[in-house]
Amino acid sequence: MEPAQLKTAVMNIVNTSRVLVEFMLSQDQKNEARRQRQHSEKHEEDMDMDTDTEFCETTGPGALEIMLLMGQVLSMECRFWARETSTDWWDRIVLQVWDDSQWLRNFRMRKGTFMELCDLLSPALKRQNTKMRAALTVGMRVAIALWKLAMPDSYRSVGNQFGVGKSTVGAAVMQVAKAITEVLLRKLVTLGNVQAIVDGFAAMGFPNCGGAIDGTHIPILAPEHQATEYINRKGYFSMVLQALVDHKGRFININAGWAGRVHDARVFRNTTLFKGLQQGTYFPDQKITVGDVEMPIVILGDPAYPLMPWLMKPYTGSLDRSQELFNYRLSKCRM
């Protein structure tokens, strides 16, 4: 803000305050004059004329003048608040110039996938324009969220990149994440073709396998309450994401939100996935015979998970050759 503009704004605010004070004082004088007029018994007509004259001389500014002055100050303050921003980088460079390799590096997806994602999320993200400003397009809203999730940039940095405020970036991230959860989660994270998954794991060396499970830690800021509960074994604040994936590494079941301090096995035991596997309802009742044992469709986990009839984990301790081979094949498929 230029010094001259700042001085003008301050003077306008001061003058407006003075006018308001004078107006209130004049109202007090008016009320006092009326009280005196009501109690006076002499020269009633003269007193009425004198009082009216005096009132007209000392009333001060009218409502119209005050509104005009306030309008000047508000219009000037609005000019100070406005910030020139530009979306040219997004409109003219990213959308029109970038190729798929640039999209993949920066947004973690190709442009075609991005456009399809926008179409799917459009009903949940589309906003109406207002008299104050035009709403962000669905494409920009999704792009802001993806950029923030893909990059370690601050909200301010992302806002500068797209020509929006940092609060807009925060709102876009939350809106897009909510829309993805509500619209896409149940459509995309599904079990899929079980037989294709079993055949895929069998080709890698492990028979009748329906998935591999593990947990990962999503870094978060320290929460204000129970912060110690979110410190994981590596010493930073996090939430646990548990994922079951197929033979191609695609998510077929996820669970997120447990505090980082919670052990993977405890997270697993408190999921609907565990209940479904325990009850035998998650996978089809498809068994094979290994030696003299009937083996259902199993999932593969690391040593942190419990050994179950439907969950295989590596052998530990001193191993013979067959156990080493078992561990090798299990580890190969799980990794």
CATH number of the 88-187 domain: 1.10.472
pLDDT in tens, 182-216: 999 888 899 989 999 999 999 999 999 999 999 99
pLDDT in tens, 275-294: 999 999 999 999 998 888 89
Would you kindly state where each structural domain of the chain is located, as residue ranges? Answer: 3-81, 88-187, 194-334
Mean pLDDT value across the chain: 83
**pLDDT attached to residue 80:** 44
Could you give the CA distance from residue 247 to residue 109 in angstroms, rounded to a whole number? 21
Cβ(278)–Cβ(214) under 8 Å?
no
Indicate whether this model's pTM tops 0.85: no
Could you give the CA distance from residue 12 to residue 113 in angstroms, rounded to a whole number? 54
Cβ(238)–Cβ(260) under 8 Å?
yes
Could you give the CA distance from residue 235 to residue 228 in angstroms, rounded to a whole number? 10
pLDDT in tens, 234-270: 999 999 999 999 999 999 999 999 999 999 999 999 9
